[in-house]
Structure 1
Amino acid sequence: MAGEHYDIRDERFRSLIHGNAQIDTLWSGGRWAEGPAYFAAGRYLVWSDIPNDRLLRWDEASGAVAVFEQPCRNQNGHTVDQLGRMIACEHRGRCVSRYEIDGSRTILADSYAGKRLNSPNDVVVKSDGSIWFTDPSYGIDSDYEGDAAPMEQDGRHVYCIDPASGAITRVVDDMKQPNGLAFSPDESMLFVADTGRTHFPDCQPKIRRYPLRADGRSLCQGEDFIVCDTGLFDGFRLDSEGNIWASAGDGVHCYAPDSTLLGKILLDEVVANLCFGGPKRNRLFICATTTLRAIYVRARGA
């Protein structure tokens, strides 16, 4: 039954889901599915299968899945900018890159303070064109999702790329392994997940939030916002009302803007990332370890 997919913790969750909506399995056969990004103009979704070093593409009109690029430098997170170009986080490339309209590739960031980045993980574009990304160490920790290499930076941090000058600024330096990130609908807050428990056993699996300063490019001191009760928060998105839809060990967790856990969409695999898509931006596409899933919700992506 469709209702068995839901764990309702707060009555507000009922207004965000369709009780009879099924979870569709659109594709299976991956090792670690990640980085979904929906392209509205073409009605297709691109996502990563990191250990298999490939990008895949799901066509909304036909349901067909094809390899988009292989090898792909062990890409992880993706987003789409205002011009419809794909922004990619590359583990093996140790950079943030952009796919131009003509198909060429531009490296936007591969170092900070003269030292190579670790392995950019997830990325978001702000309305002013600035590009914000996380840089944990997963892609250089082993050869499974990149190339094993020593870390040149003094830690794992969050950065911002200026759209005009290309200058790279470090904006968060108080996290163990910054991972997924997203802005609030009004862009007054940046939310960042910390998956540091993979390397530091005493690190809480949490999402922190950071108020933006008036310049729109720097952050005030952050605070812990929500803590995951099953597994780790990885990638996440906000809907137009400010609710957080976050990946977790048992599915997708939905939190209200006041940090209340409203409910869960339960899956039988660990979820790594998700995004809203479809013509009405009301379909949640979910990268769940070996599969790509989707479910319609009563919310729209911010």
Structure 2
Amino acid sequence: MTAEPASTLLRRPGPPDLVSDVDPLKAFDPRFAEAVPPHARLASLYGQAVFSEGPVWWSAREILIWSDIEGRRVLGWHPDGCVRVVIDATPFINGHTVDHGGDLIHCEHGNRRLSRTTPDGRYSAVVETYEGRRFNAPNDVVCAADGALWFTDPAYGLRQPRQGALADSDLGHHSVYRVDPVTGSARRMADFGQPNGLAFAPDGRTLYVSDTSRTEGGGGHTIHAFPVHSDHSLGAPRVFAEIEPGVPDGFRVDRRGWIWTSSGSGVQVFSAKGERLGLIPTPQTCSNCCFGPGERRLFITAQAHLYSIDLADV
């Protein structure tokens, strides 16, 4: 991969375009307005990707990072409105997180591993195998409070040649893993039909994981909640929410403990108790979302687009 080649500019600095061809915000609970003002408008920040995914705010560079998986690029949106290629010719990178050292962590479909890029552009592998066998196609990743990296490993990159390379699974299961921050080894934590998005509750005592196996003829279109024990093991899961329409591809948890999840209709918002609070409709199927600094803005990936919407100050 090449970090920031000479010609990287995809969009010049300038204001975003407000989106007009979208349904209005939908509040199912008065608390929704505490987070999303009724007058808030969806803005288009970029619309020329092939398939957008994996957004994360990279504070070390003060940019919004996201993947164009099928375009094989990692892109960066800058606060002045410009968009640049951050990493070119990627091995079908999907999800990202930022670790406690400020490094950008990537999920690679093509190389079937986790990798990292430092703020100064150095690139290296993080973890490549479990019990000597290659992963399927790591999809999404999150950094826990203790510095451990948790990630999902469905089979999408093995079955979709535009997002990886056709291959049989070396493992024979689709799982959630924890990468120990000291040893760097991966521990298998839970199995799913097709695990996808994941996030921790603010206190770290609950891990949410989505199952999106509906996309391949299975029944999964759910977010599951696991209690996290003191030894980092997971307790028995419960179904937190079933998402209609579509699937909960990627999602985030805010400081209140509310879940903001992608779906076929846009970003759906749930309380920590699983109450459906509201919907931010998107013109295209939403794949993922993340917060900007201070949770004052929500960034949304949807097919070719990167969108944003301003949130209420709390």
TM-score (norm. length: structure 1):
0.94
- Matching of residue 127 in structure 1 with residue 145 in structure 2: yes
1:213 to 207, 218, 229: 229
1:106 is displaced (CA, Å) by: 2.2
1:187 is displaced (CA, Å) by: 0.2
How far apart are the structure 2 equivalents of 1:299 and 1:255? 19
How far apart are the structure 2 equivalents of 1:95 and 1:271? 25
Q: 1:167 to 1:143 in 2, by over 3 A?
A: same
Report if aligned partners of 2:295, 2:311 keep a CA contact under 8 Å in 1: no
Q: 1:84 to 1:32 in 2, by over 3 A?
A: same
Structure 2 stretches lacking a partner, 5+ long:
1-19
How far apart are the structure 1 equivalents of 2:130 and 2:221? 27
Structure 1 stretches lacking a partner, 5+ long:
none
Report if aligned partners of 1:3, 1:20 keep a CA contact under 8 Å in 2: no
How far apart are the structure 1 equivalents of 2:41 and 2:263? 19
Report if aligned partners of 1:239, 1:299 keep a CA contact under 8 Å in 2: no
- Matching of residue 179 in structure 1 with residue 192 in structure 2: no
Runs of 4+ in 1 over 3 A off after TM superposition: 1-4
Structure 1: which amino acid aligns with 2:128?
Answer: D
- Matching of residue 56 in structure 1 with residue 75 in structure 2: yes
- Matching of residue 75 in structure 1 with residue 89 in structure 2: no
Q: 1:101 to 1:28 in 2, by over 3 A?
A: closer
Report if aligned partners of 2:139, 2:151 keep a CA contact under 8 Å in 1: yes
1:228 is displaced (CA, Å) by: 0.4
Report if aligned partners of 1:110, 1:117 keep a CA contact under 8 Å in 2: yes
1:172 is displaced (CA, Å) by: 0.8
Residue 32 of structure 2 is matched in structure 1 by 13
Residues 178-212 of structure 1 deviation map (CA, whole Å, 9 limit, x = unaligned)? 000000000000000100112233x1300001000
Structure 2: which amino acid aligns with 1:17?
Answer: V
Deviates most, 285-294 or 105-114: 105-114
2:61 to 38, 42, 51: 42
Q: 1:42 to 1:281 in 2, by over 3 A?
A: farther
How far apart are the structure 1 equivalents of 2:309 and 2:85? 23
Q: 1:299 to 1:114 in 2, by over 3 A?
A: farther
1:236 to 228, 232, 251: 251
- Matching of residue 28 in structure 1 with residue 43 in structure 2: no
- Matching of residue 297 in structure 1 with residue 297 in structure 2: no
| 1:220 aligned counterpart, secondary structure | coil
Structure 2: which amino acid aligns with 1:10?
Answer: D
Residues 111-138 of structure 1 deviation map (CA, whole Å, 9 limit, x = unaligned)? 1111110000000001111000000011
| 1:144 aligned counterpart, secondary structure | helix
TM-score (norm. length: structure 2):
0.91
How far apart are the structure 2 equivalents of 1:158 and 1:218? 12
Q: Percent identity?
A: 38
1:94 is displaced (CA, Å) by: 0.4
| 1:298 aligned counterpart, secondary structure | coil
| 1:169 aligned counterpart, secondary structure | strand
- Matching of residue 277 in structure 1 with residue 296 in structure 2: no
How far apart are the structure 2 equivalents of 1:3 and 1:157? 36
Structure 2: which amino acid aligns with 1:292?
Answer: L
What is the root-mean-square deviation in Å for CA atoms of aligned residues? 1.6
1:101 is displaced (CA, Å) by: 4.5
Residues 69-99 of structure 1 deviation map (CA, whole Å, 9 limit, x = unaligned)? 1101110000111121100000101001111
1:218 is displaced (CA, Å) by: 1.2
Say how many residue pairs are matched: 295
How far apart are the structure 2 equivalents of 1:101 and 1:44? 11
Structure 2: which amino acid aligns with 1:56?
Answer: L
Residues 203-226 of structure 1 deviation map (CA, whole Å, 9 limit, x = unaligned)? 1300001000122x2111111110
1:199 to 195, 216, 234: 216
| 2:97 aligned counterpart, secondary structure | strand
Residue 4 of structure 2 is matched in structure 1 by none
1:67 is displaced (CA, Å) by: 1.1
